[in-house]
Structure 1
């Protein structure tokens, strides 16, 4: 429960961060707004054609008596629309991050600097970052699609399909949504997709606490556009927890006082002790702590 609350806390802290930095929040909504227009058109088309699609896919139910044919096809329509909505949440984030890649990387770097005074950099040219991001996003979308097919099939189970399976679907969507958002900061640290997934599975409750509430919020029209910049900021703060960088992000002016502060100066030495070693926030080597390079080997080109 503590990790669930902490994950939700990072979502709230990210929204607070962009609220204090209004320029980043304003520009961050533009890629999400552009993507939303395309997705809205696709979902409207799906809503208009769902009944015809379900009737075409279930010709064997044409001769069923009322109300069974209506209940059966209505249930399938709900499952289809629900599954497409969950897939839309994940793919919306992936497409938005791809469209706004340069901006969201800059936003994530600014969050790191506001906390610790430094920000890891991938060292890769923009075209290669876009290529890697597109390739890994496609891999995530394929994983989500496979899970979506499984969730859709399990939805036919009596009672369980209408209670447990929708909850499972939101958890799956929340996990992969968190993966897409944390990828912005983790990719700058040179962390490839497989390692990112292992990190998130290792802190599953923390990941779900961040991703599941965001999945539910993203289902509300236009909310995804408003929350997207803060979601990227919160995901960056979550990454600092996952990688053990553990700075307090609550106050930009004082955060990092024990890790060089916003100016990147040396950290204060503890009473009676020697100053921390350079290159780490607190003197203890930790994942992603190096300020001038990635903590992980860079992904293969």
Structure 2
């Protein structure tokens, strides 16, 4: 007879969530101690950031037009009702665009800067005693893996974004609950995406990442949501991306039961 499963207390989950967020701060500390890598780490994010800011600016600029296109049923409504539903629609477009933009930005930046971010992650591993179970991964194989996994995660974010967009039309719920869900989903996807490099160095793939992170979901969510929030701040994605890579290396080691303290 199987023993009954125990449910972790909320306080424990909250502590692990905060601990996950703290991994981003620790990653920042480890990253800034390698000044030779700092500039290299920012360059790929600058390229992706320029594209991201341009796309988000265009989305905000055309939000009214998109809202009108999505709500033709409101054309004959009174001015107040029509304006209200289109403001809600515009916010839904911007919110879902932010979710998709952050996930896409991360995937694109990791693909562009794969050699740079791999070096940052390796430097973190060296400070912690090396990579247990490391396997040799050729550059092109690593890049193909990164692109394939990133495309799958972007596709998943699109599938999640569609119902979130629809839910964004619900008054109050669409402006309160939906953004929280979007942040949690975005945080989870970022955590899965960012640990790709260190997992791949150990010969582990996307299903392994998901399984390991699910085993301690609050910690993974804490890290991912912290990164997601930072990426929404102007220039935050560019400045935080290298630290997020370092923090993801710590998250990987923690999820695999490997120590994260320096010798």
Q: TM-score with structure 2 length normalisation?
A: 0.91
State whether residues 108 and 232 of structure 1, in contact with CA within 8 Å, keep that contact through their aligned partners in structure 2: yes
Match of residue 174, structure 2, among 138, 161, 185: 161
Q: Distance in 2 between matches of 1:54 and 1:98?
A: 33
Structure 1 residue 22, shift from structure 2 partner: 1.6
Aligned to 2:42: 29
Aligned to 1:276: none
Aligned to 1:57: 70
SS state at 1:63 partner: coil
Aligned to 1:247: 260
Q: CA separation of 1:163/1:44 partners in 2, compared to 1, >3 Å: closer, same or farther?
A: closer
State whether residues 5 and 209 of structure 1, in contact with CA within 8 Å, keep that contact through their aligned partners in structure 2: yes
Aligned to 1:187: 200
Residue 247 (structure 2) pairs with residue 234 (structure 1) = yes
State whether residues 29 and 225 of structure 1, in contact with CA within 8 Å, keep that contact through their aligned partners in structure 2: yes
Residue 82 (structure 2) pairs with residue 69 (structure 1) = yes
Q: CA separation of 1:119/1:111 partners in 2, compared to 1, >3 Å: closer, same or farther?
A: farther
Q: CA separation of 1:31/1:119 partners in 2, compared to 1, >3 Å: closer, same or farther?
A: farther
After superposition, the C-alpha distances for 1:24-75 in whole angstroms (9 at most, x for unaligned) are: 1221000000111112222222222221122122222111102110000011
Structure 2: state its 5+ residue gaps. Answer: 1-13
State whether residues 20 and 219 of structure 2, in contact with CA within 8 Å, keep that contact through their aligned partners in structure 1: yes
Deviates more, 1:117-126 or 1:87-96: 117-126
Q: Distance in 2 between matches of 1:201 and 1:39?
A: 29
After superposition, the C-alpha distances for 1:215-240 in whole angstroms (9 at most, x for unaligned) are: 11111111111111111011101111
Structure 1: state its 5+ residue gaps. Answer: 249-254, 257-301
Q: Distance in 2 between matches of 1:19 and 1:47?
A: 34
Q: Distance in 2 between matches of 1:247 and 1:60?
A: 56
Residues paired across the two proteins, number: 250
Aligned to 1:116: 129
State whether residues 92 and 169 of structure 2, in contact with CA within 8 Å, keep that contact through their aligned partners in structure 1: no
Structure 1 residue 119, shift from structure 2 partner: 6.3
State whether residues 70 and 89 of structure 2, in contact with CA within 8 Å, keep that contact through their aligned partners in structure 1: no
Q: Distance in 1 between matches of 2:106 and 2:66?
A: 27
CA RMSD of aligned residues (A): 1.4
Aligned to 1:92: 105
Q: Deviation above 6 Å: which 4+ runs of structure 1?
A: none
Structure 1 residue 158, shift from structure 2 partner: 3.8
Alignment of 1:1-301 (within 5 A): 1-118=14-131, 121-248=134-261, 255-256=262-263
After superposition, the C-alpha distances for 1:170-226 in whole angstroms (9 at most, x for unaligned) are: 000001111111111111111111121111112110011101121111111111111
Q: Distance in 2 between matches of 1:6 and 1:60?
A: 47
Q: Distance in 1 between matches of 2:178 and 2:232?
A: 18
**Rg larger for:** 1
Structure 1 residue 126, shift from structure 2 partner: 1.1
